[in-house]
Copies of this chain bind each other. A is one copy, B any other.
Amino acid sequence: MKIGFIGLGNMGAAMAANLLKAGHVVTAYNRSPDKATALAAQGARPAASVADACQGDVVVTMLANDDAVRAVTFGDDGILASLSEGAVHVSSSTVSTALAERLTEAHATAGQGFVAAPVFGRPEAAAAAKLFVVAAGAPATVEKVSPVFDAIGQRTFILGEDPQAANLVKISGNFLIASVIESLGEAMALVSKAGVDKQQYLELLTSTLFDAPVYRTYGGLLAREEFTPAGFAATLGLKDVKLALSAGEELQVPLPVASLLRDRFLTLLATGGAELDWSAVGALSAWEAGSDHPA
C-alpha cells in the first residue's frame, strides 16, 4: 500500500520501519525533518509537508498528544484538507475520546475513512513488530487498512464501529499499567525496607499469580531503579492519566487510583523527574519512606 506516516518519535519511527520491511511504500513526515531523513536510509520517502504525506491510500499518525494530532489534521494544509476521498486516516496516538469523536465526524463529512488504532507496547516492542493494536471503525475501513496492523503488531483486536472506544480502551490500559507501577512501588518499598531483596521478590511474584509482561517489565525497572533513558517519559504518563480522568468526568465515573496517580506524576515532575521513565512514579513510595528520590 501507499502509506503516509506522520510522527517519527521512538514509537513512530519503529512502526514506519516495519511498514517498509513489509513492502509498503512509505512517505514519512516529522516536524523536525532529521527524523525523516534517518528513515529515508531504510527506504522511506521524506515528505516535505503534512499534505505531501497524504497522497496515498492511508495516512498513519503517531503523535504525542491531542494538540499535535489537531495541528496536523485541521487547518489549510492539514490531513483533512489533503487526503483523497475514500482514503483513510489511521490514528495510533493515545488521544482523548473527545478528539476521537471529533475526528470521526470530520473525516466522515469529508468523505474520508477514519480508524482509531492505538497500540500497546514500548519502543522495543514497536521495533520488533510485536505491538498489540486496538482498532475501531467502520468494518470495511478497518479491513482495508489491516495490512498496516499486520506489519506493525503481533495481534489486532477489533473493538467495533465506534473509533473512540479504541481510544478509551487504550487510555484505560495505560491507567492499568500505571496502577501496577504504583502498587508494585508501594509493595517493594515495604518489603525492601524489611530487608527482602527486590529482585528475589519480583521473581517470586512473576513466577506465581503475577506472571505477566506488565509485572516483569515494570517490576524490573523498579527493582533495578532504572529510570533513564525513558522508554515512556513521565510527562507522557501524566498526560495519559489525565486522559483517563477526563474520560471519567465525561462518563461520570470516579477513578480514585487515577486521582492518586495524577498527584504522583505531578510530584515527580515538580521534584525534578520530568525526564525520567514514567515507572519512576513507583519509586516515590520509597522516597516518602526515607530513601533517595529517583531523580
Contacts and interface: CB of A to CB of B under 8 A. Distances in A.
Interface of A: 97, 120, 132, 134, 155, 157, 159-160, 162, 164-165, 168-169, 172-173, 175-177, 179-180, 182-184, 186-187, 189-191, 193-196, 200-201, 204-205, 207-215, 217, 242, 244-245, 247-249, 251-260, 262-264, 266-267, 269-272, 285-286, 288-290
B208 A120 contact: yes
Nearest to A184: B176
Contact of A255 (B175, B205, B247, B263): B263
Given A251-B190, A257-B257, A263-B255, A179 B179 contact: yes
Contacts of A204: 132, 134, 157, 159, 169
Given A179-B183, A196-B165, A290 B270 contact: yes
Contacts of A200: 159
25 contacts: A134-B204, A159-B196, A168-B194, A169-B196, A172-B187, A173-B209, A175-B183, A175-B186, A183-B257, A190-B248, A190-B253, A211-B212, A242-B249, A252-B269, A252-B290, A253-B266, A253-B270, A254-B285, A255-B285, A256-B259, A257-B257, A263-B288, A266-B288, A270-B288, A271-B288
Nearest to A267: B288
Nearest to A244: B190
A288 B273 CA distance: 12
A177 B193 CA distance: 20
B214 A132 contact: no
Contacts of A164: 194
A168 B186 contact: no
